[in-house]
Amino acid sequence: MKSATQYIVLGVFIFFLVVAVLVFAAFGTGNQSTKTATAVIWGTVPASVFTSITYNLNAQNPGALNVNYREITPEAFEQTLIEALADGQGPDAVLMSQEFLLKNERKLSLIPFTTISERTFKDSFIEGAEILLTPEGIYGLPFLVDPVVMYWNRDILASKNIAKPPQTWEELLALASQLTELTDDKSIKKSAVALGDYINIDHAKDILSALMLQAGSRMVVRDTAAPEGAKNLTGNNEGFPTNPIVSSLSFYTQFANPLVSIYSWNRSFPNSMQMFVNGDLALYFGRASDLSSIRRKNPNLNFDVATLPQPQSAPSKKTFGNVYSFSILGSSQNKSGAFGTISLLTSAGIEKMASDLTGLPPADRSLLSVNPGTAAGDVFFRSALWTKNWLDPNPAQTDFIFKTAVDSIVTGKSRPVDAAGVMTNQMDEILR
């Protein structure tokens, strides 16, 4: 007998396959049969996810889905795609995070609003996915979310009689000196939090992005009037009394200053995740996808997960996160099959299946309102709804810009206000 979940997945599959067939005309006729969703897709999500999805769907409805999926590491993804397209051997669609969107927009095919309306998109997917929207259409269909969250060592906090992790940055500041343990020579034995430097802090750019977005910056946004299609807002105050980039850099780098009471990080430490896994770091800011790695590296570590701290007076809750979406390539000769396939893969039933397989929250709003059944999942689902992001013109170059800004402050070469100014000018250069 089929379970209720199986009936839901099958029902959702049939509905979206019918919808896909009805809108195939918007993307050309193609050569595939409309009875099977068929496409070649490349992405950075593990291939095992699509093997399981295909197996489960086809077990219920034989021949329903035929996905030729190739997994590529994030580091090699863009170059592999460029070389394949130059040889005329590219896929029909890609599954990528918004980090790669702006740089590769011209390779993608817009889904027109006559196919999926802007209203339907906003009602269906999280706000963080709206980075895919343009005045002319949609650059992809959202699939999974990987938000920045806070992992905390339960033993360290309990040893200091701290009942729960900080919910605001102000609370974190108050706890930092209490959580950091020093040796007799004033060296750090156990650290309160991995903030302050860049080179040995995992996801430093993500953490800084979250701070800047929380402080009011919109970073880089879409601008259809500009030739490059984006507008650099890092230098704007956005209505706040201080520049969000300046205040974020000031807050972040103070934890690497040995002259202040909250000093808790330096370059002699291993990377922040390893420090946390070793049991020597109280608070670690990482992605939801880090959970399995932490558990695997130290099964005995007594830790939990919480949402990213927020500014005490913030009008809304925000974190930074990667939104993974399916986008159809303009070079594809199978746009109809690709659209049918990604429509099916981003249906609620399939996104739930993918979420269960990966541990990442789905991008579908309707699923995020349901209790995921695990303590970590509850945090991840809430964080997905808080997720914001920005149009990154070149991930490698902006990573260098963020690193340079932090390094210049930590080494005393620049004040935060000067480092922020240089950062804004460098972002302008990339966009030009």
The single-letter DSSP state of residue 110 is P
Q: What is the pLDDT of residue 21?
A: 43
Place of tokens 């992605």: 287
| Closest among 77, 43, 46 to 395, alpha carbons compared | 77
In which element (H, E) is residue 221 found? strand 220-222
CATH match of 147-320+390-431 with 3.30.70.20 = no
Cα–Cα distance between 29 and 17 in angstroms, integer? 15
What is the phi/psi pair of residue 147, to 5°? -80, 160
Residue 305 near residue 284, CB atoms below 8 Å = no
What is the phi/psi pair of residue 6, to 5°? -65, -40
Q: Does the model's pTM come out above 0.75?
A: yes
* Both tokens assigned to 248: 């974020």
- The 3-class secondary structure across 242-273, one letter per residue, is CCHHHHHHHHHHHHHCCCCCCCCCCCCCCCHH
Residue 190 near residue 180, CB atoms below 8 Å = yes
What is the phi/psi pair of residue 243, to 5°? -65, 125
Residue 37 near residue 341, CB atoms below 8 Å = yes
Residue 262 near residue 177, CB atoms below 8 Å = yes
* Both tokens assigned to 306: 């919480």
Residue 197 near residue 267, CB atoms below 8 Å = yes
* 141 DSSP β-pair partners: 326
Q: What is the pLDDT of residue 182?
A: 87
- CA separation (Å) from 253 to 24, 89, 203, 258, 356? 52, 46, 15, 11, 37
Q: What is the pLDDT of residue 185?
A: 79
Strands 188-193 and 281-287, by their bridges, are parallel
Q: What is the pLDDT of residue 56?
A: 87
Residue 352 near residue 365, CB atoms below 8 Å = no
In the chain, CATH 3.40.190.10 covers 4-145+322-388, 147-320+390-431
* Both tokens assigned to 395: 């991930």
Fold of the CATH domain 4-145+322-388: D-Maltodextrin-Binding Protein; domain 2 (3.40.190)
- CA separation (Å) from 122 to 118, 131, 132, 143, 386? 6, 11, 11, 14, 14
How would you write the pLDDT of the chain (432 residues) with one tens digit per residue? 444 444 444 444 444 444 444 444 445 444 444 456 689 999 999 999 999 998 888 888 887 788 899 999 988 999 999 999 999 899 999 999 999 999 999 999 999 999 999 999 999 999 999 999 999 999 999 999 999 999 999 999 999 999 999 999 999 999 999 999 988 777 899 999 999 999 999 999 999 999 999 999 999 988 866 655 788 888 776 666 789 999 999 999 999 999 999 999 999 999 999 999 999 999 999 999 999 999 999 999 999 999 999 999 888 999 999 999 999 999 999 999 999 999 999 999 999 999 999 999 999 999 999 989 899 999 999 999 999 999 999 999 999 999 999 999 999 999 999 999 999 999 999 988
Helix axes 4-23, 47-60, angle to 10 degrees: 100
Integer Rg of the chain from CA: 23
| Closest among 59, 179, 151, 72 to 375, alpha carbons compared | 151
